[in-house]
Amino acid sequence: MFHETLDSFPKDFLWGAASAAYQIEGAFDADGKGPSIWDEFTKIPGKTFEGTNGDVAIDHYHRYKEDVKLMADMGLKAYRFSVSWSRILPEGEGVVNEAGLQFYEDLVDELIKNGVEPVLTLYHWDLPLALQEKYNGWESRETIKAFKQYCELLFERLGKKVTYWVTFNEQNVFTSMGYRWESHPPNVSDTKRLFEANHIINLANAEAINLFKEMVPEGKIGPSFGYGPVYPLTSDPSDVLAAENAHDFNNAWWLDIYCKGKYPVTTFKRLKRMGIAPTVLPEDEELLKSAKPDFLGINYYHGGTVKQNKLENPTENEETNKQFSSTDPYLMQPKDEQSQSPEVPMFQSTENPSLEKTDWGWEIDPVGFRVALRQVFARYDLPLFVTENGLGALDELTKEEEIHDDYRIAYLENHISEMKKSISDGVDMIGYCAWSFTDLLSWLNGYKKRYGFVYVNRTETDEKDMKRIPKKSFYWYKELIENNGKNIN
């Protein structure tokens, strides 16, 4: 849709930036903190780039006042951070670590003092290790009870100070990476366990929302989802159908539960036929339908492109091996192995020939951002809060201690422009949190993959002085905030 002029951003639009506890805090065992599953996972040889971990990270735990001062200098309106569950409850449940609670209250107070709206994420992937060992983590309903205790502590302590709360960050990512691809903890490759654990997390999300509505009636809460629009490779109706299947599998499977309290029929039927659907009890259905988020957090980096599934439309190589020879890994799998790939009969992913990529192979698609916001708002009719969007790049520090990240500015400007167009289209937007405020530990990619507005002087092998150095993008975003995106076209 073409607009001759674009609507302005709302006057109270929350221009922000984001982070996650494990990626920035460090102080992994300080002041009574217990270990998380990431503290253990990153010590497994070969799991992270050059063996990097978050033991020290960028030492935000000890330098939070310095970091908040930089936020104030930038004019940041909001800062989204996550709480480390095991810093509050070292065993995941039971005895409370007051020092951990005090740290987050001090952080919130410092943000408010500096005019920055705190946006608190309850779970950003770092489950207490004790719960993984005692209950098998998210595969047990006992973990829901522990999560409710954790939430209750934070709602009671910070409910009057924090308005915006995120329940789970990118549930679609941490469940798939952790229970299917063995690239996140708990380091499992079992699709049945993936869908069972995911269902229990859905129940925990619902319990947290309902508890929040009781304890913090003036606040706003919702999950944060890693959303990507799905394009058909061609106008062939079979590719269009594949895109519909992929959307159902990759997006609606989570968003329908959050917003409608039920799983999408098509994907659930597919999983049930394959024997890998989650166990849904009657009381689960009642709980899921009772929990209504106030907003949806959207993390956007890219979408995906698909074509008709390879069973109905084999590729050229597969056509020559249509007798199902061993060169076809999907068609030759035993039934139990084939069940590990439920998308195979639904669609197959492919590259989008129209898009460029980042240094890490992620497609760059600003228009897809507008598509995503339009789609989610139209389907679920909830205000949207962009909780992540950013560019990971190989930033270089000059001899003058400057970082000329014009490529990041271009990336963000193009995406923010499409967000402004979506507002002009009628999408109800709360705010935008770029990923990330400072450079941080990029989970599996160490410190080489930098996202921040602020450079942190350290490498994978050398902590150096961890000096904070604002990048060129810092000053660009500062100006954008000052004029409320007026110069974005």
Question: 266-288 b/e with 16+ CB inside 10 Å = b?
Answer: ebbebbeebebbbeeeeebeebb
Element (H, E) at 288: helix 282-290
Q: Of 311, 291, 342, 324, whose CA–CA distance to 144 is shortest?
A: 291
Burial of 1 (0-12, 13-18, 19+ CB in 10 A): exposed
Half-sphere exposure (CA, 13 Å, Cβ side) for 286? 3
Half-sphere exposure (CA, 13 Å, Cβ side) for 105? 15
CB 26 within 8 A of CB 60: yes
Strands (E), 276-355: 296-299, 304-307, 348-350
Tokens of residue 118, six digits: 């705190």
Q: Could you give the residue numbers annotated as active site?
A: 388
Distance, in Å, from the CA atom of 284 to the CA atom of 140, rounded to the nearest integer, reads 14
Q: Which residue's entry shows tokens 């102080």? A: 27
Distance, in Å, from the CA atom of 453 to the CA atom of 445, rounded to the nearest integer, reads 18
